[in-house]
Each structure stands twice: as C-alpha cells, then as structure tokens.
Structure 1
C-alpha cells in the first residue's frame, strides 16, 4: 500500500510518484533532502527528520553563496549580504539560485520538473549540478504557485524517459 503522502502522477505504473512535501517555507529544501535520501538508497526521512535535514541544507546553501560570492553576487536580486541573511530564515522560500547551490553542497545533480498545462505530463524545466553526473538526479516537482514536491521512481521501475 502506498503511503498517504505519496501519489501517482498518472495511470501508468512506470511514472514517477509525487511525494507531498509540507508547504512551510522549506518545501524546496525538504524536497531536495528527501530526493537525496532516496538517491543514496536510504529510506524516506520522517517529517521531523526531513525538517532538520532541510534546515541544515538551507544553512549550507547560504554558506555556499558566501563561498561563491564572486560567481553568484551578480545574479541575486538586491544586496548580496541582505539576501544571504534573509535566506537563512526557515520560512523564506527558495528558488533557482538555492537549487544551484544545493547541487554544489550535495555534489549531486538536481532536475526540476513541472506538469504540462494541457497534457499533464512532466516536463524538465531546469537541471543543476550536471558536473556531478547526469544519471539518477535528485528530482523535484515545481508547481507554478511556488511550491516544490519530491519525485521518485516507482518501486522496481526503470529510469523514466520524459
């Protein structure tokens, strides 16, 4: 039986499964750490452990911005130092810059998907950390209203070709 938090994204059993992530301002970080656990062959983290891992990843992402300041400052909106301080707060939403830094922190590729408006099928909208490999990336599902969920292959399923 499938856990309550996990849902199929279609009728085809070979499709990815969406793992519902709480919308508490940490959804990007929760989705990424959840995906990193699955990618590493570990079981899904409990919600409280996922929160701890997400907060830890957020802190490391902020540190990575500082470490890579010369390369990142130009594409962040507003004052760099203020941005980093702001991003360290647990209720602040993350986005593309944080996904890029998370790929560096974890040294794993991250692929972001979105459901097609008409077809409902998943479309790749961004890939980060390709320098760490392209096979079996951390997969997250972006919803246009600013929320992220984790994605996983079905049990026993092969890599899905989107």
Structure 2
C-alpha cells in the first residue's frame, strides 16, 4: 500500500479505516500502539489484542448500527418533526438537570419540598432553551453567510496536488471549498457537488475576480446524493454477488467482498446488514462507498486534509492523503476531510465531515456532465 493510503488510517478514522485491504504491509506497520499485527492482518485494525473489553461486552446487547447523524436530510423540510425533536431535547435535558439537583438536595439536606422540584424543572428548562436558541442563532448566522456565497467558504485556500512530500510554496495552487449540509450524507453530497459542477474556460478567472461559480442548490445536491448512495450500495451488492475485483489506487485492486466485510466486521455486522444500514439517508458513508462511486463515475476521488500553513500566511493549505479509483487522473473529484464548522474551527474539532474542493488547475479543464445511470 502506498503511504498516501496508509495515512487514511490515522487522519480519517470515522470513515471505516478497517475497510482497507489487510494484506498491505504499510497498513500493518502503521497500527496504533497496543494493537498487534495479527489483529491488523485479520482486518480488526482498531481492536485491542489484550482480550475482551467493556465496550465489546456492552456491544453484545446493543443493536448493531453504523455511525449516523441525528436527523436525516429528508426531515429538513418537515418543520413539525423538527419542532417535536427540539422540544423533546429540551425536556429531556432539563429533566436530567432537575433530577440531579433534586437528588443532591435530598442527600445534603435530607428532605426537599415539591415547590423546590418544580422550580428546579422550570429553571433548567429555561436555561436549556436559552442555550439551544443561542446555538441555533449561531448556526443560522453561519448558514446565512454561506448561502450568500453559494455555500463557498470564505477565505483563501491552496492545495498541494500529489503526495510526494514536497511542501514547497511553489507546489501549491489556489482552490475553492464548498460546504455541504452535515446530516449524515455529507460524503455523498460532497461527491454530488463535484459531479454536478461543470467548469468552463473562465472558471479559473472566476476564482481571481470573485465572480460567482455556477449555482448548485443544496436541494439539487441532496437529490443527486441519494442517487449516488443507492448506486454505491448497488455496486457493492452486485460486486459481492459476482465476486468482482474493484480498483483501489495506484493499480491496486481488492475484492468487493473483502472491502465490505472488513468494514462490516468493525461493527459486528454481516455484509447484508451493512448494506441495509447504508441505504438509510442519515448513515455516514465510508471508504467502501468512495471506492464504489469512483468505479461508477469512472473518475478518481481524491481525499484531502489540512496541513500546516507557512508562517504569516492567512491561507489554509490542503494536501492529498488518498486517491481512490483506477481511472484517468485528468478529471478527479476532490473532497476534504474536516468538520462541519470548517474553516471556523479548523483543526479544533473531530474530523466527521466532508466538503467539496475545486483546485484552480482542475477548474481550467472542461469536464463533461458525467453522471451515473440511475
């Protein structure tokens, strides 16, 4: 395995690192401390070899589920359901705080009056509501600023194409980054935006002069992301049934069965359970889905992450960590592994989100509207 692919293990653990082929030595050599190479060769990359753990024991009694977001994109327009969810969260949180304070009063004072309990509940509900409204206001302000720029992130960005390790300033080219909603389908939405965007000869000048890029609505990207999710699951399912080998990167291939089984085994699932879960709109996509979509779209998908900027620079620099797909490198799709608040919280939060990246060199090329068969 190439170093770029090995880096996925440490930097993007949330997209199922165990889904990569275990036969690659670089993967085994990069295992975290406390994990044996035997476990790595068996595909259980992130499981400790020191015996049963409390997490494994508790997991035996829990329903097997893939990582997901609390709300689905299909719920965004359903204001009543969102309101019920919002009220339920406030009631549960305030009830928990009120119960804890009441219990503390009983322990230290020996008794408590009903008026005290009611007052505690009301105070907790008001405090919870105020905090929630502040969070909502902050998010609405952030989303409004994104909508004014067609969801393109403000700021200056440069990207280092290739993974040869040369971080010279001359090797970085300008880029623009587009945010996507974070409701469980960010991977598919980021790829959808990359496919739907059709650059033209003046696109590179648009970056310089500040003119708008062609508008891609989130509704359009959401609809197409659902198509991509369904096609990714279908490709993986067909690949398992037909014992297909699929391109990984740099000419490497892996059987679809191994790819899915290693991702599914991380959550104690069969591949059928994994594929059933992956059909749900709010379930996070991972490496198997990236590989499947690179195969469907016949375009490479390049994963990026942030890297240290030069002292005194106000730019955020990006570098390549993995390149999926065996097809031509002329028109790849670029996605950034970051967090939902990027670039406001760059490097401060866990990487649990994908965004679309448009390098200026990529914008100069004429890319046909390349979609998959629905």
| 1:104 paired to 2:275 | no
Asked if 1 retains the 8 angstrom alpha-carbon contact of 2:331 and 2:362, the reply is no
1:77 Cα deviation (Å)? 2.2
- Structure 1 match to 2:323: 127
Q: 1:152–1:8: structure 2 CA closer, same or farther, 3 Å change rule?
A: farther
Q: 1:151 aligns with which of 357, 361, 364?
A: 357
Structure 1 stretch displaced more, 139-148 or 71-80: 71-80
1:123 Cα deviation (Å)? 1.1
Asked if 2 retains the 8 angstrom alpha-carbon contact of 1:18 and 1:152, the reply is yes
For the residues of structure 2 that align with 1:154 and 1:134, how far apart are their CA atoms? Answer: 15
Task: After superposition, give the CA deviation of every residue in 1:97-147 in whole Å (9 maximum; x if it has no partner).
Answer: 11111111111111010001x334211011111x22011211111115220
| 1:45 paired to 2:216 | yes
Task: After superposition, give the CA deviation of every residue in 1:13-56 in whole Å (9 maximum; x if it has no partner).
Answer: x5111101110101000000110122576944311111010001
Q: 1:91 aligns with which of 282, 291, 294?
A: 282
- Structure 2 match to 1:137: 332
Higher helix share: 2
- Structure 2 match to 1:5: 151
- Structure 1 match to 2:256: 72
- Structure 1 match to 2:232: 61
For the residues of structure 2 that align with 1:81 and 1:22, how far apart are their CA atoms? Answer: 28
Q: Secondary structure at the match of 2:302?
A: strand
Q: Which has the higher contact order (CA 8 A, sep 6+)?
A: 1
Number of paired residues? 155
Q: CA RMSD in A?
A: 2.6
Q: Secondary structure at the match of 2:323?
A: strand
Asked if 1 retains the 8 angstrom alpha-carbon contact of 2:298 and 2:327, the reply is yes
Higher strand share: 1
1:157 Cα deviation (Å)? 6.1
Give the TM-score of the pair, scaled to structure 1: 0.84
Structure 1 stretch displaced more, 36-45 or 52-61: 36-45
Task: After superposition, give the CA deviation of every residue in 1:44-101 in whole Å (9 maximum; x if it has no partner).
Answer: 4311111010001000000000111132222332310000001000000011111111
Q: 1:56–1:135: structure 2 CA closer, same or farther, 3 Å change rule?
A: same
Structure 1 unaligned residues grouped into runs of 5+: none
Asked if 1 retains the 8 angstrom alpha-carbon contact of 2:191 and 2:356, the reply is yes
